Copies of this chain bind each other. A is one copy, B any other.
């Protein structure tokens, strides 16, 4: 590891507005990363940020906010692309650190670096194009009595955003992952609280962002990275009067704690917490008859992917199957033949072991014995509709390589099961088109419960695209009106501001008559209208 640490000089200290050597009143608590395969300590020593460092990071962000928020989309895009290039250039180093700290396989981490830089470029494209600000212009009517004013509005940044790194995506949902990319894209300074399970990976990523800030000549307070082994830094950030929004990906318990904390602030702020989800799967009779083997293989691959440590893992599967159908038998075989996994942290491994033990009466298949370190055995659980009804806690999320197959009698039980669901990130229907036509009411129930409804694919892939919704009603997220993946994630960190009666010279570029940025705008109720045009599409107000 020495070579890697030297390359990026991993120092184990928080990066406050680009600096690690700020004077501090006291040194924070020491901690270190772990190798999950062996459960052994990894160098170097990291120091938790102090209360002074938290405040210094936020104050620097406050100072940077007006200049950064006023930056053109082109300049913000250039900054995001610079971070992306830095990540790609340091891919080898990032992958080695992340592999050592998380035990996630190198091919997965290679993909994750590409996804992370890809996300940054995706948002760069969005802000360079610029129409995301939803510019709306009503030119009014001075001849009316009373005169109808000229009103123009667009989305503007919120101010400093606190982002919490996630354990299960050391890159794509961590220091410069989706929350950071979308908050920066919208024009907000970001302060990241690194996840303590991958501190070295976090520091390397943080230095890449700080380098990009410097290279682009931005105010240094645009980005800070804070370490903490515990919860003090995160709590201080969320409670800091100058923090304007929070992005979090993690457990329901962790997310709910941040929500409750934020609700106690004198000035409440939005908390975007992507939390627990069991991602129910509904297998319909036509598909079962047609491709039982393929369904079993796909499902097994999906619930064990990444050791079952995806927020989109299918953890609850409803199927009209008997105890010995080809589908069930194949799923048991695959589970029995499957490998053990190393989980991300000792905590996750302990909770997994406890949760699986508590469900031992439902276990029908299990893979290789858990390995050393923070190992986990793949486990298939099965029950019936009545069984789930009797023990509803079985439907709660278990993070790790396990899923619960619920044998159903027929369609009424399936609809009833769907109706009983809480909010989830996804729901999946596996079926034929004929099945779908017959189960249209299932689809109608499910779309009211989730952020994404999937047909004939597995939920564990979350494409970064313009239409993606990675969200869903509580408890899947704290705020089901938003997504944390895809370009619509930028809307979380902006608010509309209207300008009434301002002269052209004082208006933001996006709102000037001549449309200098070439944006899609709503002009007097017409999308894509402009000053010289009559209405091409009317809102018929």
Please give the residue numbers on chain A whose beta carbons come within 8 Å of chain B beta carbons, in ascending order: 65-66, 69-70, 121-122, 125-126, 128-129, 131, 136-138, 140, 146, 148-149, 151-153, 156, 158-159, 259-260, 263, 267-270, 422-423, 433, 436-437, 440, 443-444, 447-448, 450-457, 461, 463, 465-469, 471, 473-475, 478-483, 487-488, 494-503, 505-506, 520, 522, 524-525, 527-528, 537-541
Contact A452 to B539, CB < 8 A, known contacts A136-B466, A153-B468, A475-B267: no
Number of copies: 2
Please give, as numbers and ranges, the residues of chain B lying within 8 Å of A481 by CB-CB distance. 158, 270, 494-496
B466 touches A483 (CB 8 A): no
Nearest to A146 among chain B residues (CB) is B461
A455 touches B502 (CB 8 A): yes
B70 touches A463 (CB 8 A): no
B539 touches A126 (CB 8 A): yes
Least distance between A453 CB and chain B CB atoms (Å) = 5
B539 touches A498 (CB 8 A): no
A39 CA to B263 CA, complexed, in Å: 39
A473 CA to B497 CA, complexed, in Å: 10
Least distance between A253 CB and chain B CB atoms (Å) = 14
Please give, as numbers and ranges, the residues of chain B lying within 8 Å of A525 by CB-CB distance. 125, 466
A535 CA to B480 CA, complexed, in Å: 31
A148 CA to B467 CA, complexed, in Å: 12
A496 touches B451 (CB 8 A): yes
Q: Given B433, B436, B540, which contacts A128 in the complex, CB threshold below 8 Å?
A: B540
Please give, as numbers and ranges, the residues of chain B lying within 8 Å of A159 by CB-CB distance. 448
A422 CA to B267 CA, complexed, in Å: 10
Please give, as numbers and ranges, the residues of chain B lying within 8 Å of A499 by CB-CB distance. 447, 452-453, 455
A433 touches B138 (CB 8 A): no
Please give, as numbers and ranges, the residues of chain B lying within 8 Å of A496 by CB-CB distance. 451, 469, 471, 481-483, 488
Least distance between A377 CB and chain B CB atoms (Å) = 27
A348 CA to B159 CA, complexed, in Å: 35
Nearest to A267 among chain B residues (CB) is B474
A131 touches B537 (CB 8 A): yes
Please give, as numbers and ranges, the residues of chain B lying within 8 Å of A121 by CB-CB distance. 541
B433 touches A129 (CB 8 A): no
Q: Given B151, B156, B480, which contacts A467 in the complex, CB threshold below 8 Å?
A: B151
Q: Given B149, B448, B539, which contacts A125 in the complex, CB threshold below 8 Å?
A: B539
Return 8 A-B CB contacts under 8 Å, by A number: A70-B444, A140-B465, A267-B422, A269-B474, A456-B501, A457-B500, A469-B498, A487-B541
B149 touches A503 (CB 8 A): no
Least distance between A61 CB and chain B CB atoms (Å) = 13
Nearest to A136 among chain B residues (CB) is B467
Contact A137 to B260, CB < 8 A, known contacts A125-B540, A267-B475, A478-B268: no
